[in-house]
C-alpha cells in the first residue's frame, strides 16, 4: 500500500505543530507531509521537538518508511516567511498548492489517502481566491458529483444529509432523491472503507419527535419515509425516521454502524460533546480517502507547544484503517 499524504494547512496555525509532535512520538502509518520543509524545521526548533525533517521526492512515496522522530516532507515552498499565530494572505496560494499536490497524488494512486490539517478560509478568500472549504474544494477538483460529510469518534459515526445551510433552508434541501443519494454513498463507504458487511444505519427525523405523525410537520411522512422505503427495496436497510432527541443513546447506538442526521446542528453537537479533540471529519464519496481534524487553526496556540494532537492522531489512524479496508475489499 502507498503512504498517506498530509497537508498541515494554515502555516501560521497549529497544523504544523501537531504533525511535528506526533512525528516525535512516532506514527503507526507511513506518511509524507506536503509542506515547506523550512517552515517545519523552524517550528520544530521553536517547539523544541526532536524531529528530523527529510526532503523526499514523489518517487520516494512508494518506499516510505516509518522511522521514529522523522518526518518525510515533499517540499512545497512558502511564498513569504511565516510567524506562528500571524496570518498572511500572501501564503494562501501556498495552502492551495499543497492541496492540489495531494489531490493529484491520490488520484494517480501514489498515495493511499489524504489527511488535512486546518485551514483559515477567511484569509484564503481575503487573498482573492474563492474557497468555501476543504470538502467542496476536494469535490470540485476531483470532479466528484456528490460527497457526504461524516464525523466520527469512538463509538459513534454521524453523517449528514445537509451541511452548511441556514436552518430556514434545510427543509427545502431535504428531498427523497437527496436522502437516497447520500445513504447510498454512506452505505458503500461503510462496507468498503470500514469493514461493515451489512451496515446498520439509523436515520433521524427532521422535526421534533420525528413529526408526531404529521402534527409537527410532514417531512417525515412525505419525504423521509418514502426515501427509506425505496432504499430498503434496493437492498439498503435503514431504521427511521427516529426522533433525534432520543436516538443518541446506547439502546439504539449499540446496534448501529452510523447515524444519518438531516442537518449539521442536529447530529454534530452530540458527536462533538462525546469526542471533541478525539474526533475526525471524513469526506465520503471521493475517489480517494480523506480525513481531517475536527478543530480550527487555533492561532493563539501556534508555536506554544500547547496544541492537542488528539484529533490529528485520530485522523491519521482512521485514514490508514480505511485504506487497509479499501485495499482488501471485494464487492
User: What is the per-residue pLDDT across 38-63, written as a single tens digit (0 to 9) for each?
Assistant: 999 999 999 999 999 999 999 888 77
pLDDT in tens, 85-142: 999 999 999 999 999 999 999 999 999 999 999 999 999 999 999 998 899 999 999 9
Give percent of the chain with pLDDT exceeding 90: 91
What pLDDT is stored for residue 28 in this prediction?
A: 80
Q: Does residue 330 surpass a pLDDT of 90?
A: no
Dist CA 164 CA 149 (whole Å): 10
Confidence category of residue 143, pLDDT binned at 50, 70, 90: very high
**C-alpha distances in Å from residue 37, one per residue of 61, 69, 74, 190:** 16, 15, 8, 36
DSSP string, 283-300: EESSSSEEEEESS---GG
Cell of 99: 492541496
The tens digit of pLDDT for each residue in 298-309 reads 999 999 999 999
Q: Tell me what the mean pLDDT of segment 311-331 comes to.
A: 93
C-alpha 67/C-alpha 259 separation (Å) is: 37
Q: List, for residues 160-215, the tens digit of each pLDDT value.
A: 999 989 999 999 999 999 999 999 999 999 999 999 999 999 999 999 999 999 99
Length of the chain: 331
**Span 10-23, average pLDDT:** 97
pLDDT at 2: 87
Average pLDDT, the chain: 95
CB 280 within 8 A of CB 312: no
Residues paired with 4 in a beta bridge: 31, 113
Q: Which pLDDT belongs to residue 268?
A: 94
Fold equal for 1-144+286-331 and 148-282: yes
3-state DSSP call for residue 326? helix
For residues 209 and 129, give the distance between their C-alpha atoms in angstroms, rounded to a whole number.
Answer: 43
Residue 64, pLDDT above cutoff 80: no
CA distance 9 to 29: 20
Bridge-based pairing of strands 289-293 and 280-284 is antiparallel
Q: What is the pLDDT of residue 67?
A: 82
Report the SS3 class of residue 19.
helix
**Domains of the chain: which residue ranges?**
1-144+286-331, 148-282
Residue 65 pLDDT exceeds 90: no
Q: Which residues contact 222 (CB under 8 A, 6 or more apart)?
A: none
Bridge-based pairing of strands 280-284 and 148-153 is: antiparallel
3-state secondary structure of 31: strand
Q: What is the pLDDT of residue 317?
A: 95
CATH of the domain spanning 148-282, picked from 3.40.718.10, 3.30.2130.30, 3.40.50.150, 3.90.79.10: 3.40.718.10
Q: Tell me the Cα Rg of the chain.
A: 20
Please give the pLDDT value at position 29. Answer: 86
In this prediction the pTM is: 0.94
- Single out the residue of 297, 315, 307, 287 nearest to residue 146, CA to CA: 287
Q: Is CATH 3.40.718.10 correct for 1-144+286-331?
A: yes
Amino acid at each position: 500500500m502507498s503512504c498517506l499524504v498530509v497537508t498541515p494547512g494554515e502555516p501560521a496555525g497549529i497544523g504544523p505543530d501537531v504533525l511535528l509532535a506526533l512525528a516525535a512520538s512516532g506514527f503507526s502509518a507511513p506518511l509524507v507531509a506536503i509542506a515547506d520543509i523550512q517552515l517545519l524545521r523552524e517550528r520544530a526548533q521553536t517547539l523544541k521537538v526532536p524531529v528530523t525533517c527529510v526532503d523526499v521526492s514523489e518517487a520516494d512515496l512508494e518506499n516510505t518508511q516509518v522511522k521514529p522522530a522523522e518526518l518525510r516532507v515533499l517540499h512545497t515552498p512558502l511564498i513569504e516567511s511565516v510567524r506562528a499565530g500571524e496570518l498572511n494572505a500572501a501564503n494562501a496560494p501556498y495552502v492551495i498548492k499543497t492541496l492540489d499536490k495531494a489531490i493529484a497524488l491520490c488520484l494517480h494512486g501514489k498515495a493511499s489517502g489524504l489527511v488535512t490539517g486546518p485551514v483559515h478560509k477567511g484569509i484564503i478568500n481575503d487573498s482573492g481566491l474563492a474557497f468555501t472549504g476543504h470538502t467542496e474544494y476536494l469535490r470540485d477538483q476531483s470532479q466528484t458529483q456528490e460527497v457526504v460529510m461524516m464525523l466520527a469518534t469512538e463509538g459513534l459515526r454521524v453523517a449528514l444529509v445537509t451541511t452548511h445551510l441556514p436552518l430556514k433552508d434545510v427543509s427545502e434541501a431535504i428531498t427523497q432523491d437527496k436522502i437516497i443519494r447520500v445513504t447510498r454513498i454512506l452505505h458503500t463507504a461503510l462496507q468498503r472503507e470500514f469493514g461493515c458487511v451489512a451496515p446498520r444505519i439509523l436515520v433521524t427525523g427532521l422535526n421534533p419527535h420525528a413529526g408526531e405523525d404529521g402534527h409537527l410537520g410532514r417531512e417525515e411522512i412525505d419525504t423521509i419515509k418514502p426515501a427509506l422505503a425505496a432504499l430498503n427495496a434496493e437492498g439498503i436497510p435503514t431504521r427511521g425516521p427516529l426522533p433525534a432527541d432520543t436516538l443518541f443513546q446506547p439502546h439504539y447506538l449499540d446496534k448501529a454502524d452510523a447515524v444519518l442526521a438531516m442537518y449539521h446542528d442536529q447530529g454534530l453537537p452530540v458527536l462533538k460533546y462525546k469526542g471533541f479533540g478525539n474526533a475526525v471529519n471524513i469526506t465520503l464519496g471521493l475517489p480517494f480517502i480523506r480525513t481531517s481534524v475536527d478543530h480550527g487553526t487555533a492561532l493563539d496556540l501556534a508555536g506554544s507547544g500547547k496544541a492537542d494532537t488528539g484529533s490529528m492522531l485520530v485522523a491519521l489512524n482512521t485514514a490508514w484503517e480505511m485504506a487497509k479496508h479499501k485495499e482488501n475489499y471485494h464487492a
